[in-house]
Amino acid sequence: MLYHDVLLFLHLIGLAMSLGVGITNMVIARMVAAAATPDAAGALRALPPILSRISMAGLVLLVVTGLLLIIQMGFAGMTGWMKVWFWLKMAGVAAMIGVAYLIFQAQGRIRQGDQTAGAQMRQLGPAIGGLALLVTFLAVLAFY
C-alpha cells in the first residue's frame, strides 16, 4: 500500500508540474507576444524555456509512475467502461507525447532564430494543455 501511495503521490506531483506549470507558461507566452516594449518582452522571454523543461519533466514523471502504477494494480478491478476510459486516456497520453516532441523541435528552431516557430509554439501550448485536461478527466472516469 505504501509503495502504491508513494507512486500516486509522485503521479499527482507530475500532474502539477506538467499541467500547472504548462498553463503558467502559456500565460507568459501571451504576455511576451503582447509586451509593449522589447525590454519588457526580453525580461519575460527567459522564462518559457525553463518552465517548459519543468513541464516536460512532469510528463516524464507521469508516464513512468503511471506505468509503475498499472503494473502494480493490474486491470482486475477495472470493469466495463473503466477499461474504455483507461485506453482512451492512454491514447490521450500518446497524443501528449507527440505534441511534446513537436514543442521540443519548435524550441530548437526558436534557439536558431526561426521567427515562425514562435507562432507555432502559441498553437502547440494550448494543444498540449487541452490534451492534459482531457487526459485528467479520463483518469478520473477510469479510476473512481
Residues that bind ligand HEM (CB under 6 A): 8, 11, 15, 19, 62-63, 66-67, 69-70, 73, 93, 96, 132, 135-136, 139-140, 143-144
DSSP conformation class of 36:
S
Sign of the C-alpha dihedral, residues 61, 73, 99, 16? negative
Place of cell 534557439: 111
Q: Cβ of residue 51: shortest distance to ligand HEM, in angstroms?
A: 16
Q: Residue 122 corresponds to which cell in the numbers above?
A: 502559441
Sign of the C-alpha dihedral, residues 80, 85, 90, 95? positive
Cβ within 8 Å of residue 144, ≥6 positions away: 82
Contact present, 94 and 128 (Cβ < 8 Å): no
Q: Residue 29 corresponds to which cell in the numbers above?
A: 507566452
Q: Cβ of residue 85: shortest distance to ligand HEM, in angstroms?
A: 10
Q: Cβ of residue 8: shortest distance to ligand HEM, in angstroms?
A: 5
User: Quick one: 25 or 32, whose CB is closer to ligand HEM?
Assistant: 25
Nearest-CB residue for ligand HEM: 66
Cβ within 8 Å of residue 98, ≥6 positions away: none
User: Quick one: 32 or 100, whose CB is closer to ligand HEM?
Assistant: 100
Q: Cβ of residue 75: shortest distance to ligand HEM, in angstroms?
A: 9
User: Quick one: 10 or 35, whose CB is closer to ligand HEM?
Assistant: 10
Strand segments, DSSP code E, in 1-144 are none
- Name the amino acid, one letter, at 100: A
User: Quick one: 31 or 68, whose CB is closer to ligand HEM?
Assistant: 68
Q: Cβ of residue 15: shortest distance to ligand HEM, in angstroms?
A: 5
User: Quick one: 44 or 90, whose CB is closer to ligand HEM?
Assistant: 90
